Chain A
Amino acid sequence: MRILSLAGRRLAASIPTLFLILIGVFLLLQLAPGDTVDALMAQMGGGDAATAQELRKFYGLDLSVPAQLGNYLWHLVRLDLGFSSIYGKPVATVILERLPPTILLMTASLSFAFFFGLLFGVIAARGVNRWPDTLISTLGLIFYATPSFWFGLMAIVVFSVYLQWLPPGGFEDIGNVQTGIWRVLDIASHLVLPTLTLGLIFLAIYLRIMRASMLEVLNLDFVRTARAKGLDETRVVTRHVLRNALLPMVTLIGLQAGTMLGGSVVVESVFSLPGLGRLAYESVVQRDLNTLLGIVFVSALLVISVNFVVDLLYARLDPRIAAEG
């Protein structure tokens, strides 16, 4: 209960942050050349000034900027993100359609990076300054420096063009939509390369943090006590060191949630996945500012929710936090 109220308080504290972001980006977008009506008129193939005037009135764009902002926030409270003139649908609908691939991709990449980062970090820390450590640390440095979109392209060349093991892009086989378990497998095979591509840099970060964290915890007194008790090394590591060494890793998930969402913009474009990131890119190119603002709102919301979950997890892993209140 105590944990929940603690995390809840942090959640409440992030509401002003959310408003700050929305107001800031809203005002920023006012500076953009051209508005929704311009984009709409361009799509209709032009029109006269009177039509534009009428459309601006219809979308409330003839009001003053503060009034528009007030309108937007008031609609937002009722979960109405406005209307996307490009897609001809409410922004909320457009975003909801695009959310599942992104969430799936992020969850998969995070699990991949977290699991292998943990594993490699532990292996490197156990053999510190010997060859496994050197190899893993070097690989970590190289992965960190690899541009994700380039890695994605090269993976397509190797695994899709030459070996033909995996599909080069898309979310599922559109020509031949499967059902049930086959559909799941089909989507999974489409997500293997994007997951590796997005997860690579996080794998590098996690393994470095895990290695440092393991080395730090391994030197603490309670580890010596555990060894003195006669526990074998595996037990010392799994039961005593790991849980404590995991804390910085969990903190990192919260800190990196935004970066990961940003990374998915690029990765979804490389693999033409119909996700939120690709939507962000498309709305910039098509000047669909309403949708762009909606994406800003939803991605901030996603980052805040991830941090909420991380707070809960953190408190579970480290009971001292809940006790200190």
Chain B
Amino acid sequence: MDAVKRYFRSPAAVIGLILLLLIIAMAVSAGFLYPRDPLALAGRPLVWPFSNPRFLLGTDNSGRDIAAQIFYGARISLLIGGVATVIAILIGILVGAFAGYYGGWVDNVLMRITEAFQTLPNFVLLLVLVAVFGSTLTTVTIAVGVVSWPAPARLTRAEFLSLRNREFVQAGKTLGMRDVQLILGEILPNALPPVIVYASVVMAVAILLESALAFLRLSDPNVASWGNLIGLGRDVLRVQWYVSAIPGIAILVTVLAVSLVGQGLNDALNPRLKSR
């Protein structure tokens, strides 16, 4: 309860939470507010925002409603960001836990692999994965998750290294608990909080990675995503710059909200560090 109270004492964290809830509300309400396909033609192309009450945010190059695409885009961004983060954190925990718990050659091999992933620029790896597996919603989400796991793995490993020789683990060993029980039941719950907080960073980066991929037209073209819309707007940038500008603000606000919530959680869970 203390942590909740501490969280709401920070204005930045509260603003972040409100923004995040708004974006979630957008994603949820997209279906009621815009029952038609957001990628279907809706009216004349390139209507400026606020000039026609039917299209509050105007229309894009091919006459599709920008507001509808922004609402549906919230779904895509949250979906890809969320699922990719879960994938990255799960792989990271698995690798980090084994490396940290067993040490020795297991640690050596796993850390070499982690290092390899960190040496290769993750956007370049993302391009390779998309080149090989194509760019559907599923493959892009998995690819973003697969390039994002090394940092959570290192974090989990560090936590496991500091926890594995503690007395409660020794006690578990003496009781004859198996390694899996010790790793999952005893050490992991204690190692989890910093990893969960770090998930917000992973999610912010995942959203940015996917939108960059979509902007380059290498993500799924059949869904209404913010990155796709920015990429489309690029063709009419010189005059109708609003087509690119509006979805960019949506991405900015989403990433900002996720970071603020993450920082707020971090400060609430580690009150000693907050004074810095």
Contact = CB atoms under 8 A, between A and B. Distances in A.
- Chain B interface main SS type: helix
B132 A31 contact: yes
Given A148-B212, A153-B248, A20 B124 contact: no
Interface residues of B, number: 49
Contacts of A262: 121-124, 126
B114 to A, nearest CB: 10
A101 interface: no
Given A147-B211, A284-B127, A259 B122 contact: yes
Given A20-B113, A153-B244, A145 B124 contact: no
Main secondary structure of the interface of A (DSSP, over half): helix
Interface string A240-279: 0000000000000001001111110110010000000000
B161 interface: no
Interface string B107-141: 00000110110111111111111111110000000
Contact of B132 (A17, A28, A147): A28
Contacts of A287: 131
Interface in B95-116: 112-113, 115-116
B202 to A, nearest CB: 13
Contact of A263 (B123, B218, B230): B123
A259 B121 contact: yes
Contacts of B123: 259, 261-263, 265-266
A284 B253 CA distance: 30
A300 B125 CA distance: 11
A45 B32 CA distance: 49
Interface string A24-54: 1100110111000000000000000000000
Interface in B220-242: 227, 230, 233-234, 237-238, 241
B256 A141 contact: yes
Contacts of A292: 127-128, 131
Interface in B31-67: none
B186 to A, nearest CB: 31
Given A21-B116, A146-B252, A147-B252, A299 B131 contact: no
Contacts of A118: none
A262 B119 CA distance: 11
B121 A261 contact: yes
Interface residues of A, number: 54
A148 B248 CA distance: 10
A150 B124 contact: no
Interface stretch (A76-84, A154-162, A177-185): A154-162
Contact of A281 (B216, B244, B259): B216
Given A153-B237, A154-B241, A292-B127, 9 more contacts: A21-B120, A24-B116, A149-B212, A149-B215, A153-B230, A259-B121, A263-B123, A281-B218, A299-B121
Interface of A: 14, 16-18, 20-21, 24-25, 28-29, 31-33, 141-142, 144-151, 153-154, 156-157, 161, 212, 215-216, 255, 258-263, 265-266, 269, 280-281, 284-285, 287, 289, 292, 295-296, 299-300, 303-304
